Amino acid sequence: MSKIYGIDLGTTNSCISVLKDGKPYTIPVDGNGIVPSVVSLDGSNLLVGRKAWNRAAAFPEQSIRSVKRLMGTTEKLKLGNKDYDPEDISAMILRYLCDEALRIEGHEVEKVVITVPAYFSDAQRRATMEAGKRAGLTVERIINEPTAAALFYDHVLASDGEPESKNSAEALPKEASQYALVYDLGGGTFDVSVLHMGEIIEVLASTGDTHLGGDDFDKRIVRHLLHEIKEKEKVDLEDYVPALARLNAVAERAKISLSEKASVRVEETRIPTPKGKSCTVSMEFSREEFEAMTEDFVDRTVASVEKAMEEAKLSPDKIGKVLLVGGMTRMPAIAARLEQIFGGARMPVVDPDLSVSNGASIQGGIISGENCEQILVDVTPHTLSLESLTYDYEQLECSPIIPRNTQIPVTRARTFATVSHHQRIAELKVYQGESRFPADNTLIGETYLELAPAEAHCPILVEYSYDLTGIVHLVAEQKGYSRKTEIRIDSRNPQLFSSQGLQEIEDGADDEDEEAEEQAIAINFVTQRARNLISKMQDGEKKNALAEALARYEKALVDDDSLVDEIEDELLALIEEEALEEE
């Protein structure tokens, strides 16, 4: 079996690793293996990586960087006189990594594991898969970056013993050694995950911010430089792209220096201006000043850390290790801030730049059977829900089917019910997001189920599956009437589930008033129906029986999936009985 390579396709930098004699090894593409995720066109010559990065400062309009921020969108990117999808640009970076790996190592790269931020949506994961395909690669798996980092850490631990640590864990309770927090601050994204590290690595919670990273820290320095230039040189460069590109590069250098030094002097004499002349800027920044001007960003990451801890139902003293990932974590203020929160937790020194791709190569090894010691458990990054009517039929809401942070692969089914007699169709809208309100979430796919004529409250079983690459499958079934529909959701091409069929059915329907038609396409969550009935029922045996069945049903949904079907049948029978009586 050919080797499966691990690729960290980062916003700012990408890396490619592979297992050599069971150990992860980063292929030294562009010298040290840290390859800028930049492409640039020089005449007809396409440059990728370090060379493209060098050129991008002088020719930003012929270069593309941070394409990862656009993954999952349909935005077009111009390079020369051609338009590209974000997937095409990512494919160029992947192709470059693989071509260079072949040149350096002498082996063709065919199969890969690619990492994405844990917070990436389904559309963003799909786009990443597509980029791999367009690069001519077989993408064996998409995994979360923090999970990959933890896999690498686990490997280091298994082969070399405990790595050096910044502080001691002596004060921690014993169980804490089982829990780790991965804090990943890169160039464009922030991710935080809480992991249980036992015989298997289990992701208990992951959250983050897809629009927070080192680029934002750079922009704060740029803002000061622009202000200074405006004051001293009387020229406003705020919208002048060539100047901004230069200033961004200058700011990033200053920021990196401040990780080592207490202060830095910025001297730049070749800043282009729109009038063709260049201007100068000279400024001193202290580490303290830089920390003060970026404190709100660090605060935002800390808020996410707290949210992840809350989701994992753990307090900081339960965390044994804090893993720092991403180039930005070299900023001393970040480790200092985390030390304040996690007190005695260890911060083992694992390479913040290479741990993700190295971890991905370990996952590659696990898949190809090279290294089977670690099993990875991943989670869904967002809640997947179905739009349904609220119990009072007043409005539409999202009823969760697979909650956020459920281990994947996962299949979950829930029963809904039709709301009207001889309802012709059930409209099925799949949403991703944490809100109760459809308008605040993202619609990632929709279809409908054509129904056989039946009484109102006829059960409709809706099943979602979420696979290891983060792709969603939906199966809906009208129970007892063998009517079924199935879709594979491509959230980036919603027209695939065009509502044409739906339109035809509606057009062909008998004249119904608007309200009836609206009801005819909606369904309603079983638990909500039960709750609604209970609220209207007189106290007595029947009400108690229904309430008791509902309580058992809700408990089973959380605790024991194997009991759900049976209790659900019981609950539906009680609902049906009561609803008939009501009519």
Instruction: Write out the residues near Mg ion by the rule CB under 5 A.
Output: 10, 186, 326
Nearer to ligand ADP, 154 or 191 (CB): 191
C-alpha closest to that of 143 among 456, 426, 464, 358 = 358
Q: Which is nearer to Mg ion, 354 or 449 (CB)?
A: 354
Q: Whole-number minimum distance, CB 143 to ligand ADP, in Å?
A: 14
Contact residues for ligand ADP, defined by CB under 6 A = 10-13, 186-189, 213-215, 252, 255-256, 259, 326-328, 330-331, 353
C-alpha count within 13 angstroms, C-beta hemisphere, residue 239: 0
CA proximity to 12, closest of 69, 60, 61, 87: 69
Interacting partner of 382 out of Mg ion, ligand ADP, none (Cβ under 5 to 8 A depending on kind)? none
Residue number with CB closer to ligand ADP (188 or 316): 188
Q: Which does 405 bind (CB under 5 to 8 A by kind): Mg ion, ligand ADP, none?
A: none
**How many CA atoms lie within 13 Å of 59's alpha carbon, on the beta-carbon side?**
16
Element (H, E) at 156: helix 145-160
- Min dist CB 281 to ligand ADP, Å, is 19
8-state DSSP, 403: -
Q: Which is nearer to ligand ADP, 185 or 460 (CB)?
A: 185
> Which of the listed partners (Mg ion, ligand ADP, none) does 457 bind, with a CB threshold of 5 to 8 Å by partner kind?
none
- 328 binds, options ligand ADP, Mg ion, none, Cβ within 5 to 8 A by partner type: ligand ADP
d(CA 253, CA 464): 47
What is the C-alpha separation between 224 and 545, in angstroms, rounded?
68
Q: Please calculate the CA angle 155-157-163 and round it to the nearest 5 degrees.
A: 125
CB of 519 to Mg ion, least distance (A): 48
Residue 248 near which of ligand ADP, Mg ion, none (CB within 5-8 Å, type-dependent): none
Closest distance of CB 69 from ligand ADP, Å? 10
364 binds, among ligand ADP, Mg ion, none (CB under 5 to 8 A by kind): none
Question: d(Cα 385, Cα 399) in Å, to the nearest integer?
Answer: 5
- In degrees, rounded to 5, the angle at the alpha carbon of residue 161 between the alpha carbons of residues 325 and 357 is 30
Parallel, antiparallel or unpaired: strands 376-379 and 201-209: parallel
Burial degree of 568 (CB within 10 A; 0-12, 13-18, 19+): buried
Cβ 250 to ligand ADP shortest distance, Å: 12
Nearest residue to the partner ligand ADP, using Cβ: 214
Beta-carbon count within 10 A of 277 CB: 10
Q: Sheet containing 45-48: give its strands across.
A: 45-48, 38-42, 63-65
Nearer to ligand ADP, 189 or 519 (CB): 189
148 binds, among Mg ion, ligand ADP, none (CB under 5 to 8 A by kind): none
Q: Confirm if 240 and 273 have CB atoms less than 8 A apart.
A: yes
DSSP assignments along 455-517, one per residue: -TT-EEEEEEEE-TT--EEEEEEETTTTEEEEEE--TT-GGGG-THHHHHHHHHSPP--HHHH
Q: Which does 255 bind (CB under 5 to 8 A by kind): Mg ion, ligand ADP, none?
A: ligand ADP
Q: Please, what is the minimum distance in Å from the beta carbon of residue 10 to Mg ion?
A: 4
Using Cβ positions, the residue closest to Mg ion within the complex turns out to be: 186
From the list ligand ADP, Mg ion, none, partner contacted by residue 477 (C-beta under 5 to 8 A by kind):
none
Minimum Å gap between C-beta 186 and Mg ion is: 4
List, in sequence order, every residue forming a beta bridge with 523; answer none if it has no partner.
418
Least separation in angstroms between CB 367 and Mg ion: 21
Q: Which is nearer to Mg ion, 62 or 329 (CB)?
A: 329
Residue 260 or 310: the one with the smaller Cβ distance to ligand ADP is 260
Q: Toward ligand ADP, which CB reaches closer, 281 or 325?
A: 325
Length of the chain: 583
Least distance (Å) from Mg ion to the CB of residue 153?
15
Kindly tell me which of 314 and 354 has the beta carbon lying closer to ligand ADP. Answer: 354
Distance of CA 250 to the CA centre of its chain: 31
- Residue 252 contact among ligand ADP, Mg ion, none, beta carbon within 5 to 8 Å by kind: ligand ADP
Which CB, 208 or 326, lies closer to Mg ion?
A: 326
Least distance from C-beta 485 to ligand ADP, angstroms?
40
